[in-house]
Amino acid sequence: MQSDEMQTLTPAEVAAALGVSPNKVRQLVREGKLMAVPGSGNSRIPADFLQDGAVLRHLPGLITVLRDGGFSDAEVFEWLFREDESLPGTPVAALRGDRHTEVTRRAQALAF
C-alpha cells in the first residue's frame, strides 16, 4: 500500500526530529510505539507518524489495539493509511487532526 507520495524518514532523521538517539527510535519501533514501513527492515518510518517534534500522541495505543485484535503489522499499516470516506481521509490524517476518539473507536470495533 506504499504510496509514492508518502514521505518516509530514516531512524536517524526521526531521532533528530524527536531529539533522541537513533537507538531510541529503533527501540520505539520494537516496542510497537512507532511503526516502520513493512518490508523496509525498520529503516523507513512515515513522516506522518510525527507531529510537533513528537510521535503522534495516540498512535502507540492505536497500534496496540489493532495488533491485539489480530492485525499483522502490514495490516495495521495498511489500515492506518487507507482512505475512509466517513472520517474523511485516512486514520493517520484523523489522528493528526486530533480526531483520535473516532479512530480509536473504529479500531476497537474492528478488533472484535
| pLDDT tens digits, one per residue of 30-76 | 999 999 999 888 789 999 999 999 999 999 999 999 999 999 999 99
Cis omega (within 30 of 0) for bond into 46: no
d(CA 69, CA 75): 11
Biggest CA-to-CA distance, the chain:
38
C-alpha cell at 39: 518490508
Nearest 10 degrees: Cα torsion 82, 63, 94, 99: 150
d(CA 66, CA 80): 10
What pTM, to 2 d.p., does this model score? 0.88
